[in-house]
Amino acid sequence: MQLTLNETELPGCYEIIPKIIEDDRGIFVKTFHREAFLSKNLCADWPEEYYSVSRNGVLRGLHFQSPPHDHNKLVYCTEGNILDAVLDLRRGAPTFGMHFQIELCAKKRNMLYIPKGLAHGFYVTSASATMHYKVSSLYAPEHDMGIRWDSAGIPWPDNHPHISSRDLSFPLLKNFDTPFHFERIR
């Protein structure tokens, strides 16, 4: 059973569609296949994994870790629906400063691979949502950073989301001096 990896308009960022087995007992979903990731030169080592549960109208983001603790992420929603957004912070990328949005939902079971140098955030569109994250580096509080959610031209569905004071304190994109540099994966 393989995964389908479709590159988005942001280089190195992939929507992943799992093969789903469904029968009268329920469903079986493969969320990771090492060889599929390695075939695209993507990270296949996930030393830390966690999940969040959020209510409708919650916006989390836009988050990332700075070098040398920057990381790739694999995210997916196992309950509810979210509008996911990533923002390219990689200087020299043809998509620098651009964003990509996609709906991730439990019913579709799609996932998003987010390379280093992209900020990540999401907005909960269902009553609640459970998001799972795999990351390629351990959490490093002194490198945990973000961009203010409303400063990058992302068309969120709500102009007044429920958002943490920490996320509200992030710098505006125009004031952010990025430490990330684009490297095309071959």
Q: What are the pLDDT tens digits along the chain (186 aa)?
A: 588 999 999 999 999 999 899 999 999 998 899 999 999 999 999 999 999 999 999 999 999 999 999 999 999 999 999 999 999 999 999 999 999 999 999 999 999 999 999 999 999 999 999 999 999 999 999 999 999 999 999 999 999 999 999 999 999 999 999 999 998 765
CA angle 153, 186, 92 (to 5 degrees): 35
Distances (CA, A) of 144 to 5, 62, 104: 28, 11, 24
For the whole model, what pTM was predicted?
Answer: 0.95
- 139 labelled catalytic: no
The residue from 14, 76, 113, 133 that is catalytic is 133
- 133 labelled catalytic: yes
Q: Coil, strand or helix: which one is 160? A: coil
The residue from 14, 63, 71, 76 that is catalytic is 63
Domains of the chain in start order, with CATH, are 45-175 (2.60.120.10)
Residues 6+ apart with CB under 8 A from 70: 64, 116, 117, 137, 143, 180
